[in-house]
Structure 1
């Protein structure tokens, strides 16, 4: 009963699984659409765009509305103590009215402001001149957005390279599997016919050692076949994972054996193209521009900061007189603020020096990066050039090995070829064709590496 349930569940799983058939172009397209790292890079670009928009806000005036509500423990009392000294001419005028003193008592206790206050105010601030600080910050935010774009390009290049690596690896293992499977069938037949020759007699010089050697080789080939099949499935799984497929999707890989084309590019052309397209080089070029803007930002402290400000307010107070009376409840003000650092202990000078030194360090890093990429391109260019020649050489050897293997296999059936010659021809076919397939794989992978280093597809024939 349990076994039946397991079989039913496996059958249902296979029916629900989604079969995905892809060639190389389709695999790359799907991976670029589904790859998680690529999606993260795009989200980082969206963040950089939002930061750029935030930086642009510094170009506009800030307008703030403020509501102020306050209740004090008691009214604000204005107190004054002392005397007023009257001038002589006023004393003379007031003498007929009974005033004989030249001073008047000035002791006063009066309400200056009620305990309840409500004020509504609108404030405006606008930086007129900042010594280039705002423009430098905005440009840094814009350049940071470009850095994130290069990160997307770099991640796409990595995804494309990984897809090609797994795809070419699958082709290699699949072709090897087909080859080994064919040889295994031949050796399996040869093992059986050798046993028959040994038991029934033949004109060939067959002994038990020949039979055991063929039997052992057949078993070893079968073991190798299992290993290659496992590698093929692992590469299929790696390709599906890079494409972003679900774990239960069934990936079917399609490819056609086409003529291997030789690269028609020169090394200097590749290096020149990489200097303008490689995302790593472009990123460090953008970073150098950011350093320039950071230097400008630091230098802005040498200049005054000029800010225009203003406000409009309406105030209500629980006491209708005092200094918040009806005539003073509506007020406005407009002003200009200028701030300039006269001395800050050489802080600005050293900040500018720091940023300039940072740029020099990055320039040195750029030279190392360019030289490193050029060296990698040179190595891959040489590998691809030699690899292409190996492919062409081995192509003829493969045809010869196949012809020899077929001839010996047929000759052995008709007792015209010795067992030793049969084994040698079969092994030679495996060796030569495996070397050919490996050369094709390495050549194509070398071209894929060149594409990655340059930053784009360098030749449509690739």
Structure 2
């Protein structure tokens, strides 16, 4: 029997350790800190923890930057609808000036005619043929400056820009849903760990109360075996002593777990390693859940960020199909140029007409054959759309099943809540009766020990059931996607 009692108390402490070690979230509180032997200790309510977590958690800025990146990509896609204007300037220095050699030429008059040419001092001389020597014509100076403003405006692209716009807009929505999921996960983690810390305090208190009662029973046992009727023996006292010391070591572990739960509560918000947050609540609330399964599933399709993210992914894939299909169509663009040229030479090519001016043109690009490249791009993107739609169906079923499982677990927890409460009250009454009877040597020592350990175990199970219930509610809010909406509206 004493061996069974030992196993019982170890089960109580093991339950407490498993409950506390399963928590891995943290929060930072606004309450002014106070110093303790275990670092900086702060107290905060659940509302303060949630609000401060949403303000200071480092995951949130990261998700916001992802949204900003997606919005910048969307604006890049919209830039394709505007004319592209480029201003260029340059300086050029040549080793020699540019020239043009006019070749020599001989001009013969038709039908052997002549042209009278008057030469001073020699009179008039008839000339039949005219010979023009080669001429070196300078085109421009060695140094030139040039400024050009070029414009290109895509008028028709077969839907390419529309496809890019749809893709980037869908990516923005996906990143916003990812940011919402981050907020939901922060709220869920803070809520579960907050009440996990409350549970850790309760379990530690159960351990201390049980140890105190066991020590009192040990002292009573010692007195009874030394001064009593002889029914209580020294072996009873020794067995009780072993149990008390074992329980004392386990209470120390419970104390450590309580401190680690409070440290974990502070860690998520980026507090120093020696900071801790202690909940202001002393009890885990219990409120029966009145929601309906069908309503929860319908709400999840409206607010669940994963569901909205998949819908946005379908729109992005459909935009990719539109972009790929644009490869079948021609592209039409208008071009224009305004130029200015500075050169000190006034002859050759460096004339006022050539030094400045403008041009306007229209260009068209018609795809003829690309080795079936465009056709296969369209097939690939269309297959991607179909793939995501099938994944959407799987997600729909998965979300529904998860909500159903959590809903059923909530119903089971609410039924177990009353059972564990009745068991705890019965265990408390049984403990009191056994302690009073033991004082008159009406029950055995092992019965008193077992009654005290069962009291601790039933209390721990009841508190753990209350924590499981509120953790399931938090998990349900995470899946449905509505938990953080009111908190965000208050910012």
TM-score, with length taken from structure 2: 0.84
| Cα distance in 2, alignment partners of residues 76 and 167 from structure 1 | 84
Q: CA deviation at 1:157?
A: 1.7
1:154 to 158, 166, 181: 181
| Cα distance in 2, alignment partners of residues 366 and 149 from structure 1 | 18
1:213 to 239, 252, 258: 239
Structure-2 residue corresponding to 1:201:
228
Q: CA deviation at 1:169?
A: 2.0
1:278 to 281, 294, 304: 304
- Does structure 1 conserve the Cα–Cα contact (< 8 Å) formed by 2:162 and 2:322? no
- Does structure 1 conserve the Cα–Cα contact (< 8 Å) formed by 2:74 and 2:172? yes
1:60 to 82, 99, 112: 82
| Cα distance in 2, alignment partners of residues 19 and 87 from structure 1 | 116
Residues 173 and 258 (structure 1 numbering): CA distance in 2 closer, same or farther, change over 3 Å?
closer
CA offsets, 1:17-64, max 9 Å, x none? Answer: 754321222222222221112221112222222222333222222222
Question: Are 2:253 and 1:227 equivalent residues in the alignment?
Answer: yes
Q: CA deviation at 1:293?
A: 0.6
> Aligned pair count?
445
Task: Indicate the SS of the match to 1:119.
Answer: strand
Q: CA deviation at 1:350?
A: 0.8
Task: Indicate the SS of the match to 1:345.
Answer: coil
Alignment of 1:433-448 (within 5 A): 433-448=459-474
Q: CA deviation at 1:78?
A: 0.8
Structure-1 residue corresponding to 2:458:
432
- Does structure 2 conserve the Cα–Cα contact (< 8 Å) formed by 1:312 and 1:333? yes
- Does structure 2 conserve the Cα–Cα contact (< 8 Å) formed by 1:308 and 1:335? yes
Question: Are 2:263 and 1:240 equivalent residues in the alignment?
Answer: no
Structure-1 residue corresponding to 2:397:
371
Q: CA deviation at 1:13?
A: 7.3
Q: CA deviation at 1:308?
A: 1.3
Q: CA deviation at 1:113?
A: 2.4
Structure-2 residue corresponding to 1:22:
44
Structure-2 residue corresponding to 1:4:
none
- Does structure 2 conserve the Cα–Cα contact (< 8 Å) formed by 1:61 and 1:126? yes
| Cα distance in 2, alignment partners of residues 302 and 451 from structure 1 | 48
- Does structure 2 conserve the Cα–Cα contact (< 8 Å) formed by 1:186 and 1:409? no
| Cα distance in 2, alignment partners of residues 235 and 18 from structure 1 | 14
Task: Indicate the SS of the match to 1:171.
Answer: helix
CA offsets, 1:270-291, max 9 Å, x none? Answer: 2222222221221121111100
1:136 to 156, 163, 171: 163
Structure-2 residue corresponding to 1:3:
none
Question: Are 2:101 and 1:73 equivalent residues in the alignment?
Answer: no
Question: Are 2:409 and 1:387 equivalent residues in the alignment?
Answer: no
Structure 1 stretches of 5 or more lacking a match?
Answer: 1-11
- Does structure 2 conserve the Cα–Cα contact (< 8 Å) formed by 1:36 and 1:244? yes
Task: Indicate the SS of the match to 2:158.
Answer: coil
1:189 to 205, 209, 216: 216
Residues 20 and 49 (structure 1 numbering): CA distance in 2 closer, same or farther, change over 3 Å?
farther
Residues 87 and 215 (structure 1 numbering): CA distance in 2 closer, same or farther, change over 3 Å?
farther
Structure with the bigger percentage of helix: 1
| Cα distance in 1, alignment partners of residues 461 and 478 from structure 2 | 25
2:128 to 81, 93, 100: 100
Structure-2 residue corresponding to 1:109:
136
| Cα distance in 2, alignment partners of residues 374 and 74 from structure 1 | 82
CA offsets, 1:320-340, max 9 Å, x none? Answer: 111121232121111111112
| Cα distance in 1, alignment partners of residues 236 and 362 from structure 2 | 105
Residues 365 and 99 (structure 1 numbering): CA distance in 2 closer, same or farther, change over 3 Å?
farther
Alignment of 1:157-168 (within 5 A): 157-168=184-195
Structure-2 residue corresponding to 1:310:
336
| Cα distance in 1, alignment partners of residues 353 and 484 from structure 2 | 79
Alignment of 1:26-37 (within 5 A): 26-37=48-59
- Does structure 1 conserve the Cα–Cα contact (< 8 Å) formed by 2:58 and 2:269? no
Residues 456 and 307 (structure 1 numbering): CA distance in 2 closer, same or farther, change over 3 Å?
same
Q: CA deviation at 1:85?
A: 6.2
| Cα distance in 1, alignment partners of residues 232 and 135 from structure 2 | 138
| Cα distance in 1, alignment partners of residues 485 and 105 from structure 2 | 101
Q: CA deviation at 1:267?
A: 2.1
The 10-residue stretch of structure 1 (191-200 or 123-132) with the greater mean CA deviation from structure 2: 123-132
Task: Indicate the SS of the match to 2:287.
Answer: coil
Q: CA deviation at 1:146?
A: 1.5
Residues 385 and 78 (structure 1 numbering): CA distance in 2 closer, same or farther, change over 3 Å?
same
